[in-house]
Amino acid sequence: MRTRGERIEPLPPRRRGTVDYMRVAGKRSNVHGLVEFDVTDARDRLRTIEEETGDRLSFTAFVVVCLARAIDDHPHINAYRDWRGRVHVFDDVDVNVLVETTIRGSQIGAPHVVRGANRRSLRSVHDEIRTAQASADPTELSRASALGLRLPGFVRRLVWRLPQSFPRRWKEMAGTVSVTSVGMFGSGGGWAITPTNYTVQVAVGGISTKPRFVDGELETREFLHLTVTFDHDIVDGAPATRFVKRFGELVEDAHGIPSQDEG
């Protein structure tokens, strides 16, 4: 509807879910860490594979594999507290990722859960993400979802309180950790800070170039900007620091990406 020099549009039903999620997440004890990892070697390997085989491996899949491995090395990160005060520590690292798809010429992120990513290869995660990208249709809501978004706000927001009440149900529905790739929608460096309902969330920002000493020589390197968010009710500062350190080691070592020597 247009009136007096402005256009009035209805709020898309899907946005109601986003509003509900952010309101609930904003009440959690979120702590954010802004970090940057050197991804020069990882991106060089990915480019080499693409040049030699024509196969462009997903950078998001690489981040997922490194994250899952780091959590596997620090399993108490993969945990939620229920309404009885008990802590549920899960064996499987189920990673909720935004997969990029194109709708009507616009790039849109649709959620997809990669199950058991801590036991998966980069190729396996890559193939699943590519399949999800091809099949994702964020314009369509299931009948149950459409009906749910018509409920009063305080009822809708009960869904996003699941991780605080019933961790196992939350895992089945939305995974145990989250990777949101803000950097897929733009270029250049930068961090994104957002509340989350997950115990651990990684927001992938942009990539910038800057000098770094490598083996005593000054080189221009590529750095990935990441925001790692923790629920401080579950994770203390020291374990979080050790986890981030391990995560960074895996990323900078190009974990999971075959080198030329490995064929």
Is the pTM higher than 0.85? The answer reads: no
The answer to whether residue 69 is domain-embedded is yes
If one compares 207 and 165, the residue with the highest pLDDT of the two is 207
State the Cα–Cα distance between residues 243 and 200, nearest whole angstrom. 11
pLDDT at 173 over 80: yes
Return the residue matching tokens 């990406």. Answer: 257
What's the structural domain count of the chain? 1
The strand pairing partners of 243, in sequence order, are none
The answer to whether residue 234 is domain-embedded is yes
Instruction: Give the type of residue at 232.
Output: H
The answer to whether residue 86 is domain-embedded is yes
CATH code of residue 43 = 3.30.559.10
The answer to whether residue 198 is domain-embedded is yes
The answer to whether residue 140 is domain-embedded is no
Burial of 130: CB neighbours in 10 Å, binned 0-12, 13-18, 19+: middle
Q: Quote the pLDDT of residue 108.
A: 64
Instruction: Give the type of residue at 229.
Output: T
pLDDT band of residue 185 (cuts 50, 70, 90) is very low
C-alpha angle 58-64-70 in degrees, rounded to nearest 5: 145
- Whose CA is closest to 247, among 40, 78, 74, 47? 74
The answer to whether residue 149 is domain-embedded is no
pLDDT at 219 over 70: yes
Q: Which long-range contacts (CB under 8 A, 24 or more apart) does 46-54 make?
A: 46/257, 48/260, 49/257, 49/258
What range does the domain containing 205 cover? Answer: 29-134+167-252
pLDDT band of residue 33 (cuts 50, 70, 90) is very high
Provide the token pair at 248. 């960074």
Over residues 72-122, the pLDDT tens digits come to: 999 999 999 998 889 999 999 999 998 876 655 556 667 899 999 999 999
The answer to whether residue 53 is domain-embedded is yes
Measured CA distances, 194 to 88, 190, 230, 240, 245 (Å): 24, 13, 11, 18, 21
Helix (H, G, I), strand (E, B), or coil: what is residue 220?
strand
* Mean pLDDT to the nearest integer, 120-139: 84
In the chain, DSSP finds a helix count (H) and a strand count (E) of 9, 10
Residues 93/150, Cβ–Cβ less than 8 Å: no
The answer to whether residue 5 is domain-embedded is no
If one compares 44 and 136, the residue with the highest pLDDT of the two is 44
